[in-house]
Structure 1
Amino acid sequence: MLTDEERLTRAHVRQVLGVRRSSLLLLLYVVFYVAYLVTGGLVFAALESPAEMHLKNKVNNARNAFLERYSNVKDEDLEELIQEVVRASNRGVSAARNVSGEPNWSFGQSLFFSSTVVTTIGYGHVTPLSKVGKIFCIVYAMVGIPLTLVLLTALVERLMVPATVLLQFLNSRLGHLYQPFNIRLLHLSLVVSLLVGVFFLLPAGIFASLEPEWDFLDSLYYCFISLTTIGLGDYIPGDSPNQPYRPIYKVATTGYLLVGLTFMMLTLTVFYDIPQLNFGLFFLMRSDEMTGDPEKVRLQTPGAVGPKYTQQLDDGGTGRRAVVRVKSRRDDSPSPEDTTPVHARP
């Protein structure tokens, strides 16, 4: 029988070892992440530098040809015109249409801009020009981003119902043949296939047919960059000259982005519901590592991996102890016996 002092000492040792383990794993992950960023920088530099040099040479040749054709134009005047055009282009005003195309702040364009702000996609091709517009954009984003997150979360919660039904069906049909983890992987694969087919490949084909200067790869690239909220802004639908029905096109693209982001969040939720694939759990300092009293109820992070904890309570003065079993909210610990949530079991 261990004394209270021995139990506290062992609990302290477990706490120190647990914190050191999670901190070491986090340090190794940071090193790996920095190496990943450096590798990305090197690869992008190697891939894009030749294309950049080719484009620079093309621009220089076009500039020199223009000066040779129009010898009465001074190089300084041409440079001033180019800088003015570049400044306007960076603010969303294109000189390619002689500044006479549809304005950027029509209703369709403005609705599209609003959606890119509140969804944090932020293409950056069109930005507020006035000071009042910039202030309104700040306030609008501060209110709109949380509202969008609440909306997407609520929609994902409802989409999890049919996703769970699909998981139940797979368990009922394949549970006697495969391990629960393998069934969860099959379930995730089906959800990912639906995401790729309906929200990447199909829209990419539509954009490729509507945008005169986009091929299928450009369109697929746009869909991925948008639905992952990277939003580089190098490809924007509906901005080509003489685009028919541009306001309707922009509104339809806004709807696509909202629905696509919802399904993207659903896919991530299904992914993180598989404990073996949720690598972030390795870096958590769990509560049983942070407390020195082993008799307290261990509170577990929702969805975290861990054993079923118990708490012993004194039953009055009888000397008997009642055992209270405390389980995590999701009963999907990574034991090889069963990793399926209780609500998704047949």
Structure 2
Amino acid sequence: MKAALFRFKTLTGLTHLFTPTWTFWNAMFLAVTTYTTIGYGNITAQSKLGRLAVMLYATIGIPLVLMILHKLGRQSFRVLERFWIQFMRNRIKWLYATIGIPLVLMILHKLGRQSFRVLERFWIQFMRLLPFLILKIKM
């Protein structure tokens, strides 16, 4: 069998297909698929010692990833909670901005005697109001 493979390699010139490629990125791919428990299976440990090392790595790595995900989720919740509290404090200002400004602009627009359809009016007022809303969110 080895002789047949060697002959195939020499005839086709495909020697690079039979050499193992273990690069940094392949190692990272194995690590990520191991501790995220995805396990695609296209990169696996071949030796018994390698399989033992991967099992130990997974035993330590999976709880660490779960802790990191927990902390990221908690931090994301805190940011959203602060945003919600700020939003609730300023909800009256938001009410004026979302109802009052478009209403005033629509009245001024109507006084200008330009006749557009209702949907076009709302679209124009919304597009005029959008920069104010974006600035309000960033402040």
**Which of the five TM-score ranges fits, normalised by the shorter chain?**
0.3 to 0.5
Higher relative contact order (CA 8 A, sep 6+): 1
More helix by proportion, 1 or 2?
Answer: 2
